[in-house]
Amino acid sequence: MRDLTRDNWKEAIKNDPNAVILDVRTPGEWREGVQPNAVLLDFFDGGGFMAGIQSMDKSKNYYVYCRSGGRSSSACGLLESQGFANTFNLLGGMMSWDGEVVAPSM
């Protein structure tokens, strides 16, 4: 796992054709707005979270965020324990985010 500041995050995603953006917040938090192209995978839905990562492509680069950075850091650790080599955590989560926020598509 690599921690990224919001500026490094924006730059990394812009230049990464294998980027997958994971929002690990709850559905309620998700409805408040998301980063463009983010996929919801609720970290607090233990069984659902684990089932979700089992179907993900391990060759992709996963950019993971939550509200403040704690859950996303834990999620990156879980992803790594399941064989995902490239995980990136947004430091400060959405609380520090100053980039584009869009309405989620469920």
Please list the active-site residues: 66
Distances in whole angstroms, Cα of residue 77 to Cα of each of 73, 82, 104: 6, 9, 25
Give the Cα separation of 20 and 73 in Å (integer): 16
Task: State the angle between helix axes of 70-81 and 46-54 in degrees (0 to 180), rounded to the nearest 10.
Answer: 50
